[in-house]
Amino acid sequence: MAVIKKFKAVKISQNHLLGIQDLSFSEISHILDEAKTFIKLNRSSSKKTDVLRGKTQINLFFEPSTRTQSSFELAGKRLGADVMSMNIVNSAIKKGETLIDTAMTLNAMHPDVIVVRHQDSGAPNLLSQKVNCSVINAGDGRREHPTQALLDALTIINRKGKVEGLKIAICGDILHSRVARSNIYLMNMLGAEINVVAPKTLLPHSVERLGVNVFTDMKRGLDNCDIIMMLRLQNERMQGSFLPSAREYYEYFGLTPDKMVMAKKNALIMHPGPMNRGVEIDTNLADDINKSVIREQVELGVAVRMACLKIYCKKT
Ligand code: NCD
């Protein structure tokens, strides 16, 4: 059965996956349907297919990553592609080479897809204009992280059957979070109601224009919610002081049992990881198998990345 709704002959119009904002409802539905077909394969003992046999995938991660990079690497390998993950620390970037020079060098080796994570918003877009292959954005600055939002949607659909009509609270460092931005675009498009919850200093200017309800009181923001999406404080993107202290932040904006009771009884807890236990989330709640779907997000992330690689790699 289709995850959202069946669309006939969906064509993905872009050669690159740069952001949720570039996708239509039917394209999202197509990616999620495709991802669903890989969940079973990933749970079976033989996980290999040859959908991308002969194709070359390069992972280019300029920022630290555990989940996203390993997920893209496994996804490519399970599809039969040749996958090469650049080790930036030992690369010519350390000798002063620019992003574009690096990309052009890699481009000369005829990859079919480059998966890129970069600290600058818009870097994958720039790259996509210079290379001959597809580019998939694995997170750029504070702008977008499309595959994270897609895997979040798949996790919600897997548990709740749909996104439409659900009330989703996105809590924490909204200002610096590409995960928040991509999720706001995606969940809005899929028909959810979105509450963002954060201290004033961690809310983007005019955030309500993105189609969200804004709360600085977490208990009110969690009221009657179906999904609670927690975010990490993006300290690496903060210049100056945004918060009085981690302890105070936890007191007011950490997900704790006394705040959790405000949400629906069967509400789910999500987190893109990496988590800071005791800063944005209570450690027992993070591990509560009846509430937390954090591990499932990681699992379904591989399926979503397989779908994206299959769809975008084939386009070049
Ligand atoms: C997120 C990211 O890098 O944007 N992590 C991830 O991809 N799983 C969130 C974060 O780093 O806080």
More confident residue, 90 or 14: 14
Q: Is 145 in the pocket of ligand 1 (CB under 6 A)?
A: yes
CB of 305 shorter than 6 A to ligand 1:
no
With a CB cutoff of 8 Å and minimum separation 6, the contacts of 248 are none
- Ligand 1 pocket, 273 CB below 6 A? yes
Ligand 1 centre and the CA of 142: distance in Å?
10
Percent of the chain at pLDDT > 90 equals 84
C-alpha to C-alpha distance for 141 and 154, rounded to whole angstroms:
24
**pLDDT grade, residue 316 (50/70/90)?**
low
User: In terms of Cα–Cα distance, which of 74, 22, 14, 72 is closest to 305?
Assistant: 72
Confidence band for 314, pLDDT divided at 50, 70 and 90: low
Residue with CA nearest ligand 1 atom 1: 272
What's the average model confidence in pLDDT over 8-15?
Answer: 74
Q: How far is the CA of 134 from the centre of ligand 1 (A)?
A: 22
Average pLDDT in the chain = 93
Q: How far is the CA of 148 from the centre of ligand 1 (A)?
A: 8
Of the listed ranges 7-11, 33-37, 132-136, 260-264, the one predicted with least confidence: 7-11
Question: What are the tens digits of pLDDT across the range 81-107?
Answer: 999 998 787 777 777 788 889 889 999
For the CA of 63, the closest atom of ligand 1 is 3
Query: Three-class SS of residue 139?
Result: strand
Ligand 1 proximity of 297 Cβ (cutoff 6 Å): no
Pull the structure tokens for residue 133: 């292959």
Region for residue 96 given its phi and psi (left: phi exceeds 0; alpha: psi -120 to 50; beta: otherwise): left
Instruction: Give the list of residues 6+ apart from residue 173 with CB closer than 8 angstroms, or none.
Output: 180, 198, 202, 231, 232, 233, 234
Report strand pairing: 193-197 vs 213-215.
Answer: parallel
Closest CA relative to residue 158, chosen from 36, 272, 306: 36
| Model confidence band, residue 9 (pLDDT cutoffs 50, 70, 90) | low
Binding site membership of 271 for ligand 1 (Cβ less than 6 Å): no
Token pair of 95 as six digits: 């000798």
Of 145, 173, 182, best ligand 1 pocket probe by most atoms within 8 Å of the beta carbon? 145
- The span from the CA of 162 to the CA of 98, in Å, is 43
Helix H or strand E encompassing 260: helix 257-260
**What are 265-284's pLDDT values in tens digits?**
999 999 999 999 999 999 99
Distance (Å) from CA 7 to ligand 1 centroid: 31
Which pLDDT score is estimated for 4? 60
Of the candidates 155, 117, 141, 186, the one whose C-alpha atom is nearest the C-alpha of residue 301 is 155
Cα–Cα distance measured from residue 29 to residue 95, given in angstroms and rounded to the nearest whole number: 43
pLDDT above 60 (res 8): no
- Residues contacting 168, CB < 8 A, separation 6+: 156, 183, 187, 192, 193, 194, 195, 225, 226, 227, 228, 229
C-alpha to C-alpha distance for 217 and 197, rounded to whole angstroms: 7
pTM for the full predicted model: 0.95
3-state secondary structure (DSSP) of residue 23:
coil
Cα 179 to ligand 1 centroid, rounded to whole Å: 7
Residue with tokens 């690496």: 236
Torsions phi, psi of 58, nearest 5? -115, 125
What DSSP line would sit under 172-234, residue for residue? S-TTT-HHHHHHHHHHHHTT-EEEEE--GGGS-TTGGGGT-EEESSHHHHHTT-SEEEE----
| Distance in Å, CA 225 to ligand 1 centroid | 23
Q: How many CA atoms lie within 13 A of 175 on its CB side?
A: 17
Rounded to the nearest angstrom, the distance between the alpha carbon of 88 and the centre of ligand 1 is: 18
Regarding the beta carbon of 232 and ligand 1, being less than 6 Å apart is answered: yes
Q: Is the CB of 176 under 6 A from ligand 1?
A: no
Q: What is the pLDDT of residue 278?
A: 95
